[in-house]
Amino acid sequence: MHVVLSKERKERGLTQEEFAKYLGVKKDYYARREREEQQFTLDEAIKIAEILGISLFTLFPKIFRLKCDKNTHNKEVN
């Protein structure tokens, strides 16, 4: 499950259905992505971050940590 997204959504008192409406998608579509069965598009990720008022880094820490780790590794190798 997308722990950060689920936590942030619930803290705001929103159901998956309500959040899906804000995002402009169907509940099932949104729920599959919140459970990490499928991935959000970049546009959806940006819109989610804007709706929640948090950064993409906060919303998707694993992605940015992996990207930073790879960049750090590449710098050390070169």
Residue 8 sits in a domain whose CATH number is: 1.10.260.40
What is residue 73's predicted lDDT score, i.e. its pLDDT? Answer: 47
> Contact 51/23 with Cβ under 8 angstroms?
yes
The CA distance from 43 to 33, in Å, is 14
pTM of the entire structure?
A: 0.75
> Contact 6/34 with Cβ under 8 angstroms?
yes
Q: Which domain holds residue 13?
A: 3-77
Q: 36: left (phi > 0), else alpha (psi -120 to 50), else beta?
A: left
**Relative orientation angle of helices 3-11 and 42-52, to the nearest 10 degrees:** 40
3-state secondary structure of 18: helix
Residues 6-31 have pLDDT tens digits of 999 999 999 999 999 999 999 999 99
Q: What is the number of domains present in the chain? A: 1
Residues 41-70 have pLDDT tens digits of 999 999 999 999 999 988 888 777 755 555
